[in-house]
Amino acid sequence: MSRSKKPRVVSFRVSEEEWLAIEKAASKIGDTPHEWGRMASLEKLRMQDGLNSNERILFAQVARTQYLVGIGFQMLADDKLTTEEWKKLRTFAKEEIDVITERALADFQSRTKGEARKVA
């Protein structure tokens, strides 16, 4: 197998303890520490909003559930929840999961940034 040309080098220093942990993690999957480090860096680069793909799927499902529970209970409390309205909500939540996820993520990020400012 030929190697593709990679003209750039990324280099950084780690402590002995960190190096041993990297070696251990790399050996578990049959990689060298350098291959493992490359893979870890590129994986981090591909993350959206600090979430890997599995975490993003899980976050989307939780956001969708939160959306349905919140609106569903509010409509029940207002005595406005009908079978037809519930079907519409479920369809919207299924078809527009990306919209719900992005709004929930933006809301979460704005609250955590606001909390960080209050603490500082």
| Chain segment 9-51, per-residue pLDDT in tens | 889 899 999 999 999 999 999 999 999 999 988 888 877 667 7
Range(s) of the domain holding residue 28: 16-46
pLDDT at residue 1, rounded to an integer: 53
| Residue 120, pLDDT score | 45
| Nearest 10 degrees: Cα torsion 77, 82, 85, 89 | 60
At residue 80 the predicted structure's pLDDT band, cuts being 50, 70 and 90, is very high
3 belongs to a structural domain: no
Q: Among positive and negative, which fits the CA dihedral 74, 78, 79, 82?
A: negative
Identify whether 107 is part of a domain: yes
Query: Domain count of the chain?
Result: 2
**80 found inside a domain:** yes
| pLDDT above 70 (res 74) | yes
Cβ-based neighbour number of residue 89 at 10 Å: 16
Report pLDDT for 73.
96
Residues 67 and 37 in one domain: no
Mean pLDDT estimate for the chain: 88
Instruction: Examine residue 4 and state whether it is found in any structural domain, yes or no.
Output: no
